[in-house]
Structure 1
Amino acid sequence: MTYLDEAALRLTANARRTTALLAALGTIIALPQAASAQTAFTLPAPPFDLPMLPSPSGNWTVMVGIGGEYTPDFVGSKNGRFLPIPIFTIRRAGSIDQFRGPRDSASIALLDVGNFRAGPAFKYVSSRKSDRYAELTGLGDVKAAYELGGFVEYYPVDWLRLRSELRQGLGGHTGAVADVSADVIVPLIQRLTVSAGPRFTWKSTKATAPYFGVDAVQAAASGLPLYDARGGAHSVGFGSQISYRINPQWEVHAYVEYEKLLGDAADSPLVKLRGSSNQTTVGLGASYSFDFRIR
């Protein structure tokens, strides 16, 4: 083989290596471009559309009113007093007329879809003054509490309402409170409705201790034994209401609610020695409904 042939062979081999190298470089350069042209991962489509809260714009119906009820002096008391009770709810205008139970917090149904409603809820818990009642002597005051949270309610059938509330306390207590209720709603005659059903309340330790616990200072001042109140099942009960709709705007109602304290609330020396675990409330009220528009 001549030197010329060997040179030609080396040139051919070098050309092949150069071609392969250029091809590899071309592939590397092309990869980012291809990657930028499409996503790295293709996620499967969600099995269902996520519900979105409706816009607050539109027509709304507001229910406002006032009631009065004879209720225990404080939770766990065996004596009672008369108190005014405000009524306030908001719902979408044109939606199904909203049933309201006497234990319901003030609420706004931001989500109102057929037989399901949900939205924010608020409840005011009045202060407990130790100098007003002999049973509280030495226990100190408990400030007013503001419970903020939300509610959900569902109608599996037209005559049955299931409702649950979860609220967080601020002020007099800083615990969590959960209320669960069911109401069977029976129209007796036109405009006259009777409802009734069970109730259940759960409270955390921070929502229970300020009202039912007795610390060392309070024990010395009140004569009650030390007691470390913990949270848990707070009460079970039953309520009934009769309401009459005078016209599309005005409604009047009367109700009775019975509550049986449970757990550490019922075992508190304040309740056992000076009060009662049986709590009954009787009330009357009237409400007025009107529409307004949010643009």
Structure 2
Amino acid sequence: MEEQTEADVLICEDCPAVPTISRRRLNGLPALLAISFLVAGLPSCAWAQDASTAGGHADVAAQAGSDAPQGPMNFIAVGVGVAPKYPGAKSYSPVPFIAADITGKGVEISMRGPNIRANLLGDSAFSIGPVAGLNFGRSQSDGGVARNLPKISDEIDLGGYAAYRFGGNERGQGQLELEVTALRDVSHTSNGFTVNGDVSYILLRSFRWSLGADANLTYASSRTLRTYFGITPASALASGLIPYSPTGGVRDVGGGLTAGYQFNRRWGVISRFGYNYLVGDAAKSPIVKAGSRGQLLGGVALSYRF
């Protein structure tokens, strides 16, 4: 049996918590492509949102073992999670929980759920690059008030992000990261856009354990809010809900925790718990009043470094 050293089991240096986006080893875009849309079928854009705001947190667990000399630098995790069936729903569905970090030719690519990004600056305190995301729509089969509302097709978003991390000890414990991500619908589902601000902090990073916390806020355009939370006169007649036309503003605030444990230099487990709270015009929607303003998201995944 191969003898292990402490360095062999170090928890990823950049892994704060899970559903965020890793900024150091592989920041999110090609990773999603590489795994090929295994996340297809996620029932709610809530998961996509939590995934994008948890970016740096998966790094905490994702980069376990990255301190090891000549140790594996790439990472993939597959598991199961739960998410609301649609934005504002009070019922939940199981969803695939997937994360990945892959580095190559100075570009870091990371995937968290249905979001993927590329850090064009490599292993630097600053990171910037393109982002692609998938927001899952809504159908009558989701139940609740959705039964009598029009179907919303899945939405493909493209945009970019910029982040800066600082502080922390030699392993990254105590590191703080600030990030802004802007995404616009290119699939003509909503024709809107969102801007998200995220702050993440690495609470713990030891040889085997990692723990990160994050807080986020999302602004959504009028078109985005009307698509997911609005009620047209025709929909009002079919559903019995009152007509409603929200305007752009802060859509939600939230936060989460991501934890990781490394069994050895290659295998580990990561878990994520997130909570988003709908505010502003989104919270006033009859859809949300019939559902829930609180949106829980969580998951557990087995990770492998290579």
* TM-score of the alignment, normalized to the shorter chain, above 0.5: yes
Residue 86 of structure 2: SS of its match in structure 1? coil
- The alignment yields a C-alpha RMSD, in angstroms, of 2.7
Matched, 1:164 2:176: no
What are the superposed Cα offsets for residues 102-139 of structure 1, whole Å, 9 maximum, x if unpaired? 68931111122521111111111122112331321221
What are the superposed Cα offsets for residues 255-293 of structure 1, whole Å, 9 maximum, x if unpaired? 110111011110001111x10111111211234344xxx
Contact 1:182 1:199 in 2 (8 A): yes
Matched, 1:189 2:206: yes
Indicate the structure (1 or 2) with the bigger Cα radius of gyration.
1
Distance in 2 (CA, whole Å) between partners of 1:251 and 1:123 is: 26
Residue 170 of structure 1 and its aligned partner are, at CA, apart by 2.6
1:214 aligned residue: 231
Tell which deviates more after alignment, 167-176 or 60-69.
60-69
2:120 aligned residue: 110
Structure 2 unmatched ranges of 5 or more: 1-71, 169-174
Identity %: 27
- Do the aligned partners of residues 104 and 83 (structure 1) sit closer, same or farther apart at CA in structure 2, a change above 3 Å counting? closer
2:77 aligned residue: 65
Distance in 2 (CA, whole Å) between partners of 1:110 and 1:245 is: 28
Matched, 1:85 2:97: yes
Distance in 2 (CA, whole Å) between partners of 1:87 and 1:115 is: 22
Q: 1:271 aligns with which of 266, 284, 288?
A: 288
Distance in 2 (CA, whole Å) between partners of 1:141 and 1:75 is: 13
Structure 1 unmatched ranges of 5 or more: 1-59, 291-295
Q: Does 1 or 2 have the higher relative contact order (CA < 8 Å, sep 6+)?
A: 2
Residue 188 of structure 1 and its aligned partner are, at CA, apart by 5.0
Residue 137 of structure 1: SS of its match in structure 2? helix
- Do the aligned partners of residues 261 and 123 (structure 1) sit closer, same or farther apart at CA in structure 2, a change above 3 Å counting? same
Contact 2:88 2:293 in 1 (8 A): yes
Q: Which amino acid in the other structure matches residue 137 of structure 2?
A: S
Contact 2:85 2:142 in 1 (8 A): no
Distance in 2 (CA, whole Å) between partners of 1:188 and 1:166 is: 29
Residue 210 of structure 1 and its aligned partner are, at CA, apart by 1.0
- Do the aligned partners of residues 85 and 133 (structure 1) sit closer, same or farther apart at CA in structure 2, a change above 3 Å counting? same
Q: Which amino acid in the other structure matches residue 135 of structure 1?
A: V
Distance in 2 (CA, whole Å) between partners of 1:140 and 1:180 is: 30
Distance in 1 (CA, whole Å) between partners of 2:144 and 2:219 is: 28
Residue 93 of structure 1 and its aligned partner are, at CA, apart by 7.1
Length, aligned pairs only: 228
Match runs of 1:1-295 below 5 Å = 62-91=74-103, 105-112=115-122, 114-158=124-168, 159-171=175-187, 172-272=189-289, 274-290=290-306
Contact 1:203 1:232 in 2 (8 A): yes
2:24 aligned residue: none
Distance in 2 (CA, whole Å) between partners of 1:203 and 1:219 is: 23
**Larger strand proportion of the pair:** 1
